[in-house]
């Protein structure tokens, strides 16, 4: 990750990279019909008839997107980040056409691992809260691993 020399500090411990205070922006989104539960699997009658509220799967995606945007300026050329875990509480329903704001803050960095605290609010109340982990990867190595897996899958299907 960018930020000058990659050195340990007393607070971070050996091998950690500095956490920058700039790793705490937020983003906002206006919800559309494709963000709602029935749009997830419209061919499934039990899901198609569910309430038209923000789907938890979309809340996860929007939270991940906010973390990606926050971390991206701090990556070196050829680096990307991938999500590895999320502990989410979806606290309140959110209807279509409402705006939601997602605030993220990097709370821990250890080598290539970052941990994020996330809070999502709609125009009325807090709707979700999460702890999310991301790993910084070298894009070409990650792509190579993926290509090798796809090759194995293709051979298995022959």
- The answer to whether the beta carbons of residues 120 and 131 sit under 8 Å apart is no
CA distance 88 to 109: 20
pLDDT band at 150; cut points 50, 70, 90: very high
Considering only CA atoms, which of 52, 55, 51, 62 is closest in space to residue 29? 62
Q: Which residues are catalytic?
A: 56, 64, 90
| Check whether domain 26-156 has CATH 1.10.260.40, yes or no | no
pLDDT at 111: 94
- Return the domain boundaries, the chain: 26-156
Task: Report the C-alpha dihedral over residues 17, 23, 24, 29, rounded to 10 degrees.
Answer: -130
Sign for the CA dihedral angle at 82, 79, 128, 108 comes to positive
pLDDT, tens digit (0-9, with 9 covering 90-100), for 33-75: 999 999 999 999 999 999 999 999 999 999 999 999 999 999 9
* 5-31 exposure pattern, b = at least 16 Cβ within 10 A, e = fewer: eeeeeeeeeeebbbbeeebeebbebeb
The pLDDT score that the predictor gives to residue 49 is 95
Of 89, 71, 62, the residue nearest 20 (C-alpha):
71
Say what the pTM is: 0.82
- Asked if residue 96 has pLDDT above 70, the reply is yes
């Amino acid at each position: 990750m960018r930020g000058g020399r990659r050195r340990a500090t007393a607070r971070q411990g050996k091998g950690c990279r500095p956490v920058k205070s700039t790793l705490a922006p937020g983003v906002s989104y206006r919800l559309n019909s494709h963000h709602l539960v029935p749009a997830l699997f419209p061919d499934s009658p039990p899901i198609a008839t569910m309430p038209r509220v923000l789907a938890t799967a979309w809340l996860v995606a929007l939270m991940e997107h906010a973390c990606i945007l926050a971390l991206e300026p701090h990556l070196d050329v050829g680096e990307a980040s991938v999500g590895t875990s999320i502990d989410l509480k979806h606290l309140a329903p959110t209807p279509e056409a409402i705006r939601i704001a997602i605030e993220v803050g990097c709370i821990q960095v250890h080598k290539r691992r970052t941990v994020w605290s996330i809070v999502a609010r709609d125009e009325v109340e807090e709707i979700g809260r999460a702890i999310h982990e991301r790993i910084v990867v070298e894009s070409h190595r990650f792509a190579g691993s993926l290509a090798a897996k796809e090759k194995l899958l293709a051979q298995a299907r022959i």
